[in-house]
A and B are shown apart, each in its own frame.
Chain A
Amino acid sequence: EPEVTQTPSHQVTQMGQEVILRCVPISNHLYFYWYRQILGQKVEFLVSFYNNEISEKSEIFDDQFSVERPDGSNFTLKIRSTKLEDSAMYFCASSELPGTSNTGELFFGEGSRLTVL
């Protein structure tokens, strides 16, 4: 079964360092997303990406964050200068183009746990 894969599964970094989280969405999917879950809290939307541009972003997704699809397969989330409060599980997700025959499911990766010290 196709799946969304994320690397690394866990990253520890020092405050102020740049971090890049990588995702490989399902190959025929065209919508890509990043969500964040601070430990013990709910899953929060960060950004959605379609047709090589951001289609929507939340207030959490400030100038410290950026996303990129550098090639035909990867989708990355960059945090420019990490803060302690960026410590969280980051989930990548992808979905098919609307209107196709599907369940409307967001396929989530297994998450990348970021720990900022």
Chain B
Amino acid sequence: AQKVTQAQTEISVVEKEDVTLDCVYETRDTTYYLFWYKQPPSGELVFLIRRNSFDEQNEISGRYSWNFQKSTSSFNFTITASQVVDSAVYFCALSDSGGYQKVTFGTGTKLQVIP
């Protein structure tokens, strides 16, 4: 069975601080996909990134960066120089080797960026 754990329920930071959102996953598959989604107060789910299990390169996209470590089954997400618009719930998610079937979401981390 697949499982995604986001131990941080809520995080508050002051604007311009860096913040890291933790994600730990469990799967028996050797090929799998990891995702991060953002859910702003308006409620929609916004795709941020997808990584496959064979690609452990860290990725940077603007102020966002992701650290994938297979050895610790973690896929952490860092926002550099946080902004108020980053306030949202962030979900880490995992899907099986098909990559297009069932996606298992974590419970989410609510990030509040205080001006």
Measuring CB to CB, which residues of chain A are less than 8 angstroms from any residue of chain B?
31, 35, 41-45, 48, 55-56, 58, 89, 91, 95-98, 103-111, 113
Contact = CB atoms under 8 A, between A and B. Distances in A.
Contacts of B45: 43, 91, 108, 111
A106 B101 CA distance: 10
13 contacts: A42-B107, A43-B91, A43-B93, A45-B103, A45-B104, A48-B100, A58-B102, A103-B50, A104-B50, A106-B100, A108-B37, A108-B47, A111-B44
Contacts of A98: 98-100
A45 B102 contact: yes
Interface residues of B, number: 23
Contacts of A109: 44
B75 interface: no
A42 B44 contact: no
Interface in B39-75: 42-45, 47, 50, 52
Given A31-B100, A104-B33, A43 B44 contact: no
A105 B101 contact: no
Interface string B5-30: 00000000000000000000000000
